[in-house]
Structure 1
Amino acid sequence: MLPEPQRRGFCKQCKESGVQCDKKKPRCSACVAANKPCGGYDMGHIFINVNSSGPPPTWNRGQSAQKHLVLDLASQPATSPPQTLDMLAASLPTTSHTSDAMSLGSVDASRAIIALADPANIHHLVELFLDIYLRRYGPGKTPVDPLTAGNECGGWRLLLPSWLGQSVILDTAIGAMAASFIGSQYQDVGLSDHGGNMYLNALQMVQKALPELGTSERKHLLATTLVMSSTELFMSNGGGSSQLTHIEGATRLLNLSMDSMDLEELHVYILNQGLFEAISSRRSYPCSSPSFRHLARHIYSVPRTNRNDLYFQWCERILPLPNYLSVTDSVTSSTTAAPVSAVKAILDDLSTLEQSITPWYELLQSSMSGPWTFPAAQVSADSVPFPLQFISIEACTNYCLYWLAQLLILEARQILYMRLPQSDVPEHRALQPRISEYASLVCRSVQYCANNTSFAATENMFLPLDVVSSYYLRQGDHDRMNWCISAFARISREHKIGFASKKFDMADMRIVDTSYDPNGIWDQV
C-alpha cells in the first residue's frame, strides 16, 4: 500500500480552486474550474473515458504525464477462480468419455479430457494440447481470448502438427511437452509421469545424436531445443538452469548451422527465445553482436506462417539491447572507474537504439489503438488502479514490449549518468518519473493478459512482468516487487505450472522441483 501523501494531494488546478484533490478520481482542468463531475480526463499517455465501454476517440493529450501512473498496491476482495473445464469438455468431440462430461462438474470434465489424452496417438495428443493451450472453445475451435492463434510470443507451438514425423527425437520431445502440459493442467499424475519419461528418452536420444558428423545441420535438433525448453516450463522449472541449458544449446546450434542450412521460420523463434532470455537475465547474447546483424536481418525476413509483423519488427530492432545492458552492468560493478569516453560511447549506442524504436512505435500507434481504462474495472486482488484495456492480446503485447524497452534503456542511461560529471547530464532528474511510468503501465496491463485467459495469452506477460519485478528489486522497492512476484504466483496457481526457485527466491511461492538435469547435454555441439 502506498502512503497517503503519494495517493492524495493538491494539484495546481485544485489549489487554485481551493478544493481537495483526489488522485483516485481526477478531473480535467475545465471540470475542476467549473466544479462539476468529469466525463473523462487526460492522464498523460492514457485518456480515461468514464462514460464509455469502448476505446476513447482521438484525444489531444496534455503534458501532465506520469502524476498518477504509479503502481498502487490497494486491492479489492478476491474473486473465486473461474471454472473452465466444463467449457473445454463441451467443445471436444462427443465420445464415450465425454458424452456425460458436458453436464457434470469440473472433476468429471477433467476426467473426460484426460481420457482423450492417448499418449500412443501423438497427433491427437498435440491437437488436445493446442485446444487447451489456446483455449479453443468457440465455434470452429476459435480461441475465446481476443487473440489470433499463432500471434502470441509462443506462436511457434501452432507449427507443432507440421513438425510431426520429421524425426523420432523431435516426435518424442513433442510428445513429452504435450503430455507434461496436459498432465499438469488436470493434475493427472500418470500423464505427467509419462511426459517425464518421454522427456528423459528425448534427452538420451539427443546425447547419442550430437557426436555424429553433421548433426549441427539437422534442423530437427533445433526444433527439439525449442520444444524441450518449453517442456521445462511445463514441468515447473521455468527460468531455471535446466531451461537455460536448452536455450543456450539452441543458440549454439543456430550459430553453427547458419553456413550450411537454409533459413526458415524456425530460426526466427530460436533467435527470439535467446533474445528474451538475455533481456531477462541482462546477459550478453552472441546473436546481439554487430557481426550477427546482417544474418539477423535475413532471419527476420524469412516468410512466416503466423502474421504478427509488429512483434517481429520489435524483436529485430531491440536485438542489440542485451549486450548494452550487460556492458552497463559491467561498468557499474567494476571497482575501477570506466573512462568517460567509454561511458559516452555506451550512451550513444542507447540513443541510437532508442531512435530506431521510434518509427516502430509510431507505426504501432497508427496500426493498433492504444490502451484505455475504466475506474470501475477494479474487481479483484489481481488488479491495480485503472487497469488497462486493449483491443487485442497482440496490442497489449506490443505496447508492453515498447514500455519495457523504454524502461530498460532509460534506466541504463540513468545508471551511466552517475559515472559522468553532473554538468554533462542535464536530463538526469527527469528520467526517474518516466521510468516509473513505464513500469506502472506494464503492471496495469497484467490483468488484461493474465486474468482468466489462455496460457498462450498469459505467456505474453512473462518477459514484461519479469523485467519490471527485477527493476523494482534493483530499486529496493520491495512492496511493488512483491506485487509482481505475487502476479507470477497467481499465474502459477491458475495454470498449474511452477518457476525455478532461483528465479523467484525472493517470494514465498510454491515451487515444483524435478530430478531431471540436462545440464551439459549441448556441450558436445
Structure 2
Amino acid sequence: MVGVAGKSKGCNTCRARKVACDQQKPACARCTRSNRVCGGYERSRVFVTVQPGAKKKHVYLKYSPSPSGSPTEVSPRAVETSTLTLGGDDQALCSFRERAPAYTLLQRHHESHNLVLYFLANCLPPDWSKSPSKSWITLLTELPIKTQALEVSGVALAAAAVGHKFNDPALVRYSHSLYTRGLQQLQRALWNRRLAQDDATLAACMALSLYEATACPNAGSEGYFGHCQGLLALVEARGIEAHCSGPGHQLFLGVRMPGIIYALENHSSSFLSDAAWLNQPWGQTPKTPFTQVVDCLAQAPGILQQVFLLPSLSPDQQIEACFQLIAECWQIDAKLDMVYAAMQGGSSDPLYWPVASKSPPQAAPEHTENLFPFVFHFADFETAATLILLWAVRVLLWSGLCNLYDGMFPNSCMLPADESVGPLRALGHRREYVSMAYHVCQSVEYLMQDEFLLAGPLSVTPALGIVIDSLRYQPGHAAVVAWLRAALDLVRQKGLGVLEHSR
C-alpha cells in the first residue's frame, strides 16, 4: 500500500512478464505495441486486522486491482499467516493498532470505498440497485462523503457483513471498533445544525441501525430499537420536504419499515401513519405495490394502541371505539384487495405457483412433521417480498377483526362465516386468517435462496415477526408458530444476529 524502495514502478502487466516498462500512462507503450492489456499501475491493497493477544498472527483482506477498474471484478481473499511481509523484504506489514500508520490508512476514503463496494457486490443482489424500490444501502457509495459518520458507519457495516459471510471473527471484531467510532462521529454530526439535516447523516444512522441488526454487539435488541427511535426522530425533524425526491426519498423508504416495527413493538402510533406522511413524499414518485402494503401496515400501531386503551373506557365509549376500529380495519382490508388485484392485473403470468419443497422441515423438535411439502415460487424477488408482507398484514388484520367481533358479540364465532354479526358485515373467509399464515410460511424458502444474499433475510424477517405476534396467543396454532420460530432462527444464521434476542 506504500512504495517500497527498490521495487519496480512499472505497470502490473510488465511486472508480471518481468520486462522493462516505459511507465507511460494510462497504458505503457510496450503493452500497446505487443497488443496486450496494460494492467495499470495500481498495486494490491491490504486490509490488516490483528488477532487479539497475538504478536505476529494477522488476518487480512487483499484486493487486487483489475484492468477495467470495475468494482465487481475486485476479488478479495481472506488469508491467515504467521508473518506478513511485502515482496520478500523484511519489512512487516503494520497492524491496525490505535494510531498505527496502517490503521490511519484504512480510514482513507479510497480503501473504505473498496470495502463497501465489496459488501454491496457480495452481500446484496445486484437487482437491488435497479428495482423500483431501490434500497437505501446503495447510497453508501452514491452519496458524497460529507461527514466522517457516513464513511466510518458504512465501513463498519461492510466489515461486519463480510466478516460474517467469510466466518472471519477478526474482521467482525474490528467492525465493532469502527461501529463505536461511527457512533461518535454521528453524534458530532447531529450536534452540527447543517450536518444534522444532511442526507449523509441520515444514511449513517441507517447504516449503524443495520449494523445493530446484523452484528448485535451488545447481545440484545435494545440497541437496534434505540436506533429505530433515533431514526424516527431524525426523519420527523428533517420534515416532509426533505424526503420527497432523490436520496432523501430513498432513505425515507428505508426508514419506514423499521420505524413501523418499532411502533408495533411499543403499541404506539407515530407520525408515519399521518395522512401527510403517507402521501406527500410521493408527489414526484409513483407508489409501488410494496409501498402501498407498507402504507396499510403503518396504520396498525395506531389501531393496536386504541385496542389497548379500550379497558380504560366506559362501556358506551368502548362500543363506539370498537365500531370505529372495525370500520378502519375494513378500509385497510379493501386497500389490500385493491393492491393485490392491481398486481394480478399488471401481469399476464401468475404472480406465484406451488412447487415441491427442497428444504428439510423447519420445525421445533416437538413438531417434526413437514408442515409445508409444497412451497411457492414467485415471478421475481420484488413480487415475493411484496406478497409475503401483504399476507402477513392480512394475518394481523383478520385476526384483529375476529377479536374485535368476538369482544362485541361473544357468540359470533358460532355463526356461519357468511352471516352478518348484528349490525356488522360477515367476516367470511377472513375467519381463516391462518391460511394467510400458511402463505407466509410457504414463501420463506424462495426468499431465503442463496442468490438473494442478505436481501432475503431482510425481506422475510418483518413478515415472520408479524405473524408470530398475531398467532402466538391464539389457541391451536402451536405447530405453525414453532415452524415460524425455526424459520427465524435460519434467518438469524444468515446474518441477522438481533433475532437471537427477539421474543
TM-score by length of 2: 0.67
Residues 172-251 of structure 1 aligned to structure 2 (within 5 Å): 172-214=152-194, 216-236=196-216, 240-251=221-232
User: 1:335: Cα distance to partner?
Assistant: 8.6
Residues 286 and 346 of structure 1, relative CA distance in 2, 3 Å threshold: same
Match of 2:480 in 1: 480
Q: CA RMSD in A?
A: 3.3
CA-to-partner distance for each residue in 1:117-144, whole Å, 9 max, x for gaps? x955111111110122125xxxxxxx5x
1:126 equivalent in alignment to 2:110: no
Q: Counterparts of 1:356 and 1:334 in 2: how far apart (Å)? A: 31
User: Does structure 2 conserve the Cα–Cα contact (< 8 Å) formed by 1:233 and 1:239?
Assistant: no
- Residues 321-369 of structure 1: CA deviation (Å, up to 9, x unaligned): 22113322433x6596552111101111111222223222211112242
C-alpha separation between the residues in 2 aligned to 1:391 and 1:324? 33
**Are 1:361 and 2:354 an aligned pair?**
no
Question: Structure 1 residues 360, 412: CA separation in 2 closer, same or farther (over 3 Å shift)?
Answer: same
SS at match of 1:169: helix
Structure 1 residue aligned with 2:249: 265
Displacement of 1:151 after TM fit?
Answer: 3.8
Equivalent residues of 1:371, 1:389 under 8 A apart = yes
2:445 to 444, 447, 464: 447
Question: Structure 1 residues 354, 465: closer, same or farther in 2, change over 3 A?
Answer: same
Q: Which residue of 2 aligns with 1:298?
A: 280
Contact 1:240 1:499 in 2 (8 A): yes
Q: Which moved more, 1:339-348 or 1:379-388?
A: 379-388
- Cα contact 1:393–1:449 (8 A) shared by 2: yes
1:499/1:150 Cα in 2 relative to 1: closer, same or farther (>3 Å)?
A: farther
> Quick one: distance in 2 between partners of 1:411 and 1:446?
21
| Partner AA of 1:285 in structure 2 | S
Structure 1 portions without partners, runs of 5+: 1-90, 100-117, 136-142, 505-525
Distance, in Å, in 2 between the alignment partners of 1:402 and 1:164 is: 35
- 1:236 deviates by 3.2
Alignment of structure 1 residues 304-323 onto 2, 5 Å: 309-323=288-302
1:401 is matched with which residue? Answer: 389
Task: Select 2:399's aligned residue among 411, 419, 423.
Answer: 411
Quickly say closer, same or farther: Cα 1:322–1:303, change in 2 above 3 A: same
Which residue pairs with 2:470 in the alignment?
471
Q: Contact 1:288–1:321 at 8 Å: present in 2 too?
A: no
SS in 2 for 1:356: helix
Contact 1:492 1:498 in 2 (8 A): yes
Can you list the C-alpha shifts for 1:231-273, whole angstroms capped at 9, x where unaligned? 1112136981111111111111111121774633244225423
Structure 2 unaligned regions, length at least 5: 1-70, 80-104, 363-369, 413-420
Between Structure 1 and Structure 2, how many residues are aligned?
379
Identity of aligned residues (%): 17
Higher RCO, 1 vs 2 (CA within 8 Å, ≥6 residues apart) = 1
The alpha-carbon deviation at position 96 of structure 1 amounts to 9.4
Q: Deviations for 1:165-215, whole angstroms, at most 9, x for unmatched residues?
A: 131111111111111111122121221122111110111123334344455
Q: Match of 1:64?
A: none
Which structure is larger by alpha-carbon Rg, 1 or 2? 2
Once residues 412 and 346 of structure 1 are traced to their aligned partners in structure 2, the CA distance between those partners, rounded to angstroms, is 10
Show CA shifts across 1:406-425 (max 9, x none).
22111111111123135527
- Contact kept? 2:221, 2:502, Cα under 8 Å: yes
Match of 1:82 in 2: none
SS of 1:475's equivalent in the other structure is coil
**2:432 alignment partner in structure 1:** 434
Go from structure 1 to structure 2 and tell me whether the alpha carbon gap of 1:479 and 1:259 turns closer, same or farther (over 3 Å shift): closer
Q: Is the 8 A contact 1:388 1:448 kept in 2?
A: yes
Give the 5 Å matches for 1:370-385. 370-374=351-355, 376-382=356-362, 384-385=372-373
**CA pair 311-415 structure 1, distance change in 2 beyond 3 A:** same
